[in-house]
Amino acid sequence: MNGTHNPLRNQILEVLEFPRQLVRAELAPKQCPHDIQYDVADPVCLHCLDGPECQWLYATDEVASLSSRSLDELAQALEFAILSVAAQLAHGVHPESKCLCSSCAWLQQADQLHKQAIQSNPDPQL
């Protein structure tokens, strides 16, 4: 699994940057003993309400620094990102398909990429 420079993978990594910044900005002001680095061994993390976001942030930090993740794993990370951005949007006023804010624009782009990733994956682990 070396040197697979699939343009779709790179696009997904790029598009994951936006929700990572969102999650980081959301978690940063909170008192985290681990500096927003999810620790599976710490019960504090296991019972933390921000656990899923934090875990995801941590996982995508790894993804960003290496190219050995499968497209399937990237698609899963992207799916989580789409769900959490969509959940954040639900709190505000975002007229469907007319909103031009960066979150809505991102969501459309991410949705497209996610579909492509699912379709181009010959062996989805579902």
Applying CB under 5 A, the residues found at the interface with Zn ion are 94, 99, 101, 104
Q: How far is the CB of 86 from Zn ion (least distance, A)?
A: 11
Q: Calculate helix-pair angle for 71-89, 102-120, nearest 10 degrees.
A: 150
Nearer to Zn ion, 20 or 94 (CB): 94
For residue 42, what are its two tokens?
Answer: 């710490």
Nearer to Zn ion, 54 or 104 (CB): 104
Q: How far is the CB of 83 from Zn ion (least distance, A)?
A: 16
Helical segments of the chain, H only = 7-27, 43-46, 51-65, 71-89, 102-120
> Which amino acid is located at 92 in the chain?
G
Q: How far is the CB of 96 from Zn ion (least distance, A)?
A: 9
